[in-house]
Structures are given as structure tokens and as C-alpha cells.
A and B are shown apart, each in its own frame.
Chain A
Amino acid sequence: MFGFTHTDYLAMLLSVRVAVVATLLSLPFGFAVAYLMTYRKFRGKVILDVIVNLPLTLPPVVIGYLLLLLLGQQGFIGKMVLQPLGIKLIFTWKAAVVATAVVGFPLMVRSIRTGMETIDVRLIQASRTLGAGWFDTIATVIAPLAMRGIIAGSVLMFARGLGEFGATIIVAGNIPGVTQTIPLAIYDYVNTPRGDAMALSLCVVSISISVAMLIFHEWLGRRMARSD
């Protein structure tokens, strides 16, 4: 067990990197969508809700395929936005980030929304009558009070990102050292004769990262509860 090759280490690093970047990238959007869904009334709210939550119920492979159609060279975004800017996304680690972000997004939005929904609306009204504008209220009342939800959502999304497989393999492929993350590497080992031991070793790594993440989350939660 454990005799990891260079590409295995790269897969571990890439897994963490993809999950971290996807989480950080999604955070402002997740916050914005959660805010809209919690506090604003607008036409098409139900449609936005469905679109945001769709990745939760769709098979990741379907999401990956749709992303491929959208972001590929012939796709709408690929052709209209990415190509003129000279960005190549498909079959790079950045595509894995996009896939992870899309798949984990509903989890993040749900957690932040739950956090926001527990905030007493009177606190927001108090802040407004005390002279704070909307952005000010968001920054000084809503965000700090929704912090637990924000952290929970980030941890959840990061953890989900570590396990992303279906969408990633379609948009980013499974190129060792380039786009291969832990789950893809495990998949490769399982399909290789006598690869079981290595597959298991990578499973242990995967479990370790997840456990560390959950412990971190628990610790942060307790620390916040203490400071209340």
C-alpha cells in the first residue's frame, strides 16, 4: 500500500486545487443567489430556483455533457465568449473547476439560504432605519449573521468537489498529470490489472481529506458557538 507515483501526487494536489478554486469561485455567486432567493421578490424566482437546484437531481454525466455542448468549440459560450478571448477550457483543469462548481453550487446556495432565513427580519429593518443602505446591511448584518451557513456551504461544496467524477470526466477528460483527480485515478486503477492496492491507497487519502475537512468544520462551528 501507498507507493504513490508522481501522477498520483499530482492527482491529489489537483483534487484539492479544483475543489478549493471551485468553492472560492462559487462563493460570491452562491451568496448573491441565496440573497436573491431569500430577500427579493421578482418574476422568474421559481425558474431560478429550479435552475440552481437542477444539478442536485440530474446525473452528473448529463451536466458534464451539457457543459461540453455549451463550452466546446461549437458551443454557444465556447464560440461566442471563450474563443474570441482565446480561452481554451475543455480538457483542462479549469474545465474540472467549472464542472465541480456547477455540481456543488446548489449545496452551497441551500446552506447559505438556510443561514439567511434564520436572520430575524427585524434586525435588517433596524439596520435600515439606523441609516444603513442595502449593501451596508448585507455587509454588516446579513453576511456576519449568515456566516455559519456560508462556512457550512463552503465545506459541503469543497467535500462534494473532492468526489466529483461524472461531469469532470466528460468536460476535462482523464489525463494523468493534467486533469486527473483522485476519483479519476481510482477509476483508472480499478480498471488496471493488479491496481486494487493503489485504488485502495487513494481511497484512504480521499477518506483522510474528507475526515480532516469534517473535523475542521466541526471545530469552526464550535468556535463560533463559543464566541456567541
Chain B
Amino acid sequence: MDLRVSVQKRFGTFTIDTNFNVEGERIGLFGPSGSGKSTLVGLIAGLYHPDSGAVFLDDAEIFNSEKRVNVPVEHRRIGMVFQRPHLFPHLSVRGNLLYGYRRCEHKDRKIKLDSLVEVLQIGHLLHRGVRNLSGGEKQRVAIGRAVLSNPRLLVMDEPLSALDDSLKFQIIPFLKGACETFNIPYLFISHSLTEMRIMTDKVLRVVEGRVASQMSLEQLARAYMGESKAGYINLLKLRSLDRLGNLYVYDWGGQRLFISGGSDLPEAFFELPSTDIILFKRHPEAISARNLLQCRVTDIFETGHRLGVELECSGQRLVAEVVRQAVEELGITKENEVYAAIKATAFRRLG
């Protein structure tokens, strides 16, 4: 997907005035509430009209104030998933799912109901009304409805923020799965760093009505680590191996991690704050922390008050954070060998 946007729009005292080009399949729009993320995508999708400017999606000019081009919303083929499901209450689940599909031209109908229902696992809901579905089911149907309209771009406007944490991480695989299975590029809006890092490859940072910069996920995570008490959040996708009493054993690139808050699911996402990792110059003989990893330092960088230490442990990446004095006393430099100690309780399971 190639999106080129240069638009101006005034809403009372708030102004959207931005100019950016972005290429990619999984793009994030990151910024605080009120920064204009939703309004910006509304202008791209055609829900609002810019006062001036132009919008190109791939090779198609969908808006140009000078040439008086303004492709109507219904012809832009930009699907939307909102914060809340907004299902049509007078239609069944099936009626909701097929609403966009029926209005899509025959030549564009590449995604079919059957395959979508399989990916989202909503076959048993098809003939039900939408009022009695659970929150997670509703959002799955809303995702399905947008995907089935066979859009060339899917805009997801904080689709997870109304869901509680456990539900959120149940929905994410469906959201990613549907977009990846059917090759739909998407714009994903959120103010959650974690969601951004799971859902996207590249991030547009929105500040006061404009795209201030484009960042890689790593740049974004590093940029925000100084602001957060937890520092840099390491995201680990782990495969469950075993259970030893209260501890769960997970595989992480060939290494075993002992985690107390695990689950019996075969795979799970975990957060590990950089501030919860303790570094040792030499192997500590006796230590209460359950995980001791031998690592190589690949980078040391400033985070504001402290220093970030990027580690490589048997092919995996981890970022630890220590105060400057510690780095100096231990003599940690690039390419050093160090030991990282992590308590079994430091991992937080997502979902």
C-alpha cells in the first residue's frame, strides 16, 4: 500500500494540517488522545472532506481540492473498524457480515464468507441477532464485516481499546490473522505502545493534527522508554514447554524461561520491563532469580536518566536498563559478555 496525504482541515479551534507519504502493509498511527488520529483517517476514508489538499491511495487519486476530485466514501473501498463494534442492530450476524460484500463489485469479491467465517471462528453465530453476542464476538463480527467488504485498505480506529486486557489478546490473533490471510493492508490507530508493536511494522507519530515523524517500532519503543516507569517493554512470544509446580516453563529461542504467571495455552505473549532485568558481569554462583541468561551486549544507548543496554541471548533480543554508574562500574561495553537475571514474577502475560 502506498498512501500519500497532504490535507488541511479546520474543525473550530482544532486544525489538521499534514503532509506525508507512507508505504507498507501494516502501518500504525500513534499519538495521544486528541492528537487528531481519528480525524485524519476520517479524512482519508472520506467521512469528512478536507478544506484543501490531496489524497492518493496506491495510484488512485481519491481526493484533490484543486482538481475537484472527491471520490465518495462508498467508492473508496476503505473499510473501517471502530472502537466499538457498531453492528447493525436490525440485521443478523450474517446480514451484518454480508452488508459490505453485497455492495462490492463482483470482480473485487476475492474474500468469501466461508473462508472468513473459518478464520474468525464465527460459524456458530451466523444466524443469531447481534444484540446477544458477547463483546469479543461483536468485535470479531465487526472485523469480519469490514474484511468481507473486500477493501483495498482497512482502517482500524482503536479497535481494541474498548476491550479488557484478556479479551484484547484474544482478538489480536483474529485481527492479524484475517488481514494476513487475505492480504489486506491496514492503518492501525492506537495510543498503546504494546498494541502498536504487536500489530504494525512502521509507525506514524501524530502530534497536534499532523504526522510529526515516521518511526520503526524499535525507534518508537526507545523514544518512549524514558517516559515510562517500566522503561522499555520487551515483548516476548513464547512457546509453552512444561509446568513445574507453580512455575511455567517456556521456550525462548532454544532457552528455557521460568515464569510464574504463565498459562496452559501453547503460545503466549509476555511483557518484560527493561527495569526488571539485573545485569551481572560474571556468573553469580547463587541467586534467587529463576532465570539467568548469558548474553552479549550489542548496543548501549541513552534513554534520558538511564542507559539502555541491548542484549543478544542465543539469537534473541532483549533490552535492559541500568543507571549510568552501574555501566561504568561493571565496565559494560559493546560486545561484552554479561549475565541477565530475571525473576520469574517479572513477566506479565498479555491476555
Which residues of A are interface residues toward B (Cβ below 8 A)? 120, 122-123, 125-133, 136, 140-141, 144-145, 228
CA distance A209 to B11 in the complex (A): 52
A sample of 12 inter-chain contacts (CB < 8 A) reads A122-B84, A125-B47, A126-B82, A126-B145, A129-B78, A130-B79, A130-B145, A131-B75, A132-B74, A132-B99, A132-B103, A145-B90
Chain B interface residue count, Cβ-Cβ cutoff 8 angstroms: 26
The interface bits of chain B over 26-49 (1 if a CB of A lies within 8 angstroms of the residue's CB, else 0) are 000000000000000000011100
Instruction: Report the minimum CB–CB distance from A16 to chain B (whole Å).
Output: 31
> A residues within 8 A CB of B100?
130-131
Tell whether, in the assembled complex, residue A129 and residue B47 are in contact, meaning their CB atoms are under 8 Å apart.
yes
Q: Contact at A144–B77, with CB atoms within 8 Å?
A: no
A128 to chain B: closest residue by CB? B73
Are B99 and A127 interface neighbours, CB within 8 A? yes
Interface of A (DSSP majority class):
helix
User: Is there a chain A Cβ closer than 8 Å to B89's Cβ?
Assistant: yes
Tell whether A131 pairs with B149 under 8 Å between CB atoms, given A125-B80, A228-B131: yes
Residues on B with beta carbons closer than 8 Å to the beta carbon of A130: 74, 79, 99-100, 103, 145-146, 149
In angstroms, Cα B97 to Cα A130, docked, is 10
Q: CB of B123 within 8 A of chain A?
A: no
Q: How far is the CA of A128 from the CA of B77 in the complex (A)?
A: 10
Closest residue of chain B to A119, judged by CB?
B89
- Chain B residues in the interface with A (C-beta under 8 A): 45-47, 72-80, 82, 84, 86, 88-90, 99-100, 103-104, 131, 145-146, 149
If A122-B84, A136-B103, A228-B131 touch, whether A129 touches B79 (CB-CB below 8 Å) is yes
Q: Are A126 and B90 in contact, CB atoms less than 8 angstroms apart?
A: no
> Which chain B residues border A131 with CB–CB below 8 Å?
74-75, 77, 100, 103-104, 149
Q: A127-B99, A130-B146, A131-B149 are in contact. Are A144 and B82 (CB under 8 A)?
A: no
User: Which residues of B lie under 8 Å from residue A125 when comparing CB positions?
Assistant: 47, 73, 80
Contact partners of A123 in chain B: CB under 8 A: 86, 88
**Distance of A123 Cα from B99 Cα, bound (Å):** 12
Tell me how many residue pairs across A and B have CB atoms closer than 8 Å. 60
Complex-state Cα separation, A113 to B89, whole angstroms: 19
B84 — which chain A residues lie within 8 A by C-beta?
Answer: 122
Q: Which residue of chain B has the shortest Cβ distance to A144 in the bound complex?
A: B90
Separation of A115 and B89 alpha carbons in the complex (Å):
14
Contact A141 B88 (CB under 8 A): yes
**Chain B residues whose CB sits within 8 angstroms of the CB of A141 once the complex forms:** 88
Interface centre among A122, A125, A126, A140, by most B CB within 10 Å? Answer: A126
Smallest CB–CB gap between B154 and chain A, Å?
10
Shortest CB-to-CB span from B164 to chain A, Å, is 21
Q: When chains A and B are docked, how far (Å) is the Cα of A228 from the Cα of B88?
A: 11
Kindly list chain A residues whose C-beta atoms are within 8 Å of the C-beta of B79.
129-130
A126 to B146: give the CA distance in the assembly, Å: 9
Shortest distance between the CB of A220 and any CB in chain B (Å) = 16
Q: How far is the CA of A122 from the CA of B88 in the complex (A)?
A: 10
Instruction: State how many angstroms separate the Cβ of B122 from the closest Cβ of chain A.
Output: 17
Residues of A within 8 A of B72 (CB): 133
Q: A127-B99, A130-B103 are in contact. Are A228 and B89 (CB under 8 A)?
A: yes
Write the chain A residue with the least CB distance to B145.
A130
User: Assuming A128-B73, A130-B103, A130-B145, is B89 touching A145 (CB within 8 A)?
Assistant: yes
Min CB distance A8 to B, Å, is 44
* Most interface-central of B77, B99, B145 (chain A CB within 10 A): B99
Contact among A133, A140, A145 with B74 in the assembled complex (CB-CB below 8 Å) = A133
The 9 A-B pairs at the shortest CB distance, nearest first, are namely A131-B103, A130-B100, A128-B73, A122-B86, A129-B80, A144-B90, A130-B149, A131-B74, A133-B74
Q: Give bound CA distance, A145 to B86, whole Å.
A: 13
B73 to A, closest residue via Cβ = A128
Given contacts A130-B103, A131-B103, 11 further A-B contacts (CB under 8 A): A122-B84, A123-B86, A126-B88, A128-B46, A129-B73, A130-B149, A136-B103, A141-B88, A144-B90, A145-B90, A228-B89
Please name the residue on chain B nearest to A123 by beta carbon. Answer: B86
B residues within 8 A CB of A133?
A: 72, 74
**Chain A min CB distance to B189 (Å):** 15
